[in-house]
Amino acid sequence: MHNGMKKPLIFDIKRASLNDGPGVRTVIFFKGCNLNCFWCHNPEGKSPDAQIAFFAEKCMGCGNCAKVCASPAACTVCGACVTGCPTEARRLYGKPYTVEELLTAILADKPYYHATGGGVTFSGGECMLYPDFLANVAERCQKNGVSVAVDTAGNVPYAAFERVLPYTDIFLYDIKALDSALHCRGTGVSNTLILKNLDRLQNSGKKMIIRTPVIPDFNQGEEVERIRAYCAARGLTHELLAYHALGESKREALAAHDVFRECQPLN
C-alpha cells in the first residue's frame, strides 16, 4: 500500500552531497519506511510521524524545555521544547513542506548541478511511499532543468514506479540481500517484490545504480559477492556502501525523549 497524494513529512534536506548520485546533489529525506533494517543509519526516517529526539550529552539541565511545554500530560510533538532548548539537545524530525517550498530549496543550488552533472535526490525513509507527491515535485524539477534521482529500496507496488518514471533520470536501487530468508531476517520483509520490481524497472530502460550497504554479520562477504555477480550478469552498475554506526546515537536519542523527566534543572 502506498500513500498516494498524502503529503509526506521531510526529516532532513542535505545540500552539496557527493554520495547520493552523480555530481553535487541536494538530498530530500522523506519520513516513513516499510522496511525495518536493524542497521538503519536514518532511524528518524522509519516512522511517517513527527518525532522529537533527546541528545543527553548536549543537555545542561536548565529545564527550559519543561517551562515552555504546553502539554505536560502527554507530548504532542509541537516542537516547543526544541525551540526553547539553548544547546540543541532536542531535535524535531519531520516537517511538512509544500511542493513550492521544496522546489525553492532545490533550485537554490541549481548552478552547482549544472556545473557538476548533479541534481536532486529524493530519499528517505522511503520516498516511493508517496508516489503522487513525489511525481509532482519531480515534474517541477524537470521543468526547471534539474536532474532527478530516486533512492529507493523498491518495496512498493510497481504502479508507484510508473507514476514517477516520466520525471526520473536515475534510480539508486538498494539490494541488501539476494537470499530471501536472509533479507527477511535483516529487514523484516521478503525481497520478492523488490527483485521483481528491479527486473521491470531495468526493462523500462531507465538508468539505474544498484547499491548495497555492507553490513557485518549480515551480508558481508559471500552474499555481497553474490549480489555483485547478479548485477554483472544483468549489466547493472553496482556500488558498495560502507557501514557506519551513526544511527545508534539517533536511535538512543529517539528512545530517550521525555519532555519533563529527561531534562530537569541542575539545582
Q: Which triple of cell numbers denotes residue 52? A: 522529537
| Per-residue confidence (pLDDT) for residue 266, from 0 to 100 | 45
Q: Which triple of cell numbers denotes residue 84? A: 526553547
Q: How many helices (H) and strands (E) does the chain have?
A: 10, 10
* The amino acid at 38: F
- Is pLDDT at 11 greater than 80 in this prediction? yes
How much is the average pLDDT of 244-256? 87
| Per-residue confidence (pLDDT) for residue 233, from 0 to 100 | 98
pLDDT-derived band at 72 (thresholds 50, 70, 90) equals confident
| Per-residue confidence (pLDDT) for residue 71, from 0 to 100 | 83
Q: What is the rounded CA–CA span in Å between residue 195 and residue 184?
A: 13
The predicted-structure confidence for 214-244, as pLDDT tens digits, reads as follows: 999 999 999 999 999 999 999 999 999 998 8
Residues contacting residue 247 through CB under 8 Å, at least 6 positions apart: 39, 40, 41, 42, 43
Q: Which triple of cell numbers denotes residue 88? A: 540543541
Contact 11, 93 (CB under 8 A): yes
Q: Which triple of cell numbers denotes residue 236? A: 547493472
Asked, as a colleague might, if the bond just before 61 is cis with ω within 30 of 0, I would say no
Write down the mean pLDDT value for the chain: 92
Q: What is 200-241 written as a DSSP string?
A: HHHHTT-EEEEEEE--TTTTTTHHHHHHHHHHHHTT-EEEEE
Q: Which triple of cell numbers denotes residue 205? A: 530502460
The predicted-structure confidence for 162-216, as pLDDT tens digits, reads as follows: 999 999 999 999 999 999 999 999 999 999 999 999 999 999 999 999 999 999 9
User: Is domain 9-40+120-235 annotated with CATH 3.20.20.70?
Assistant: yes
- Show me where the domains of the chain are located: 9-40+120-235
- 29 against 67, higher pLDDT: 29
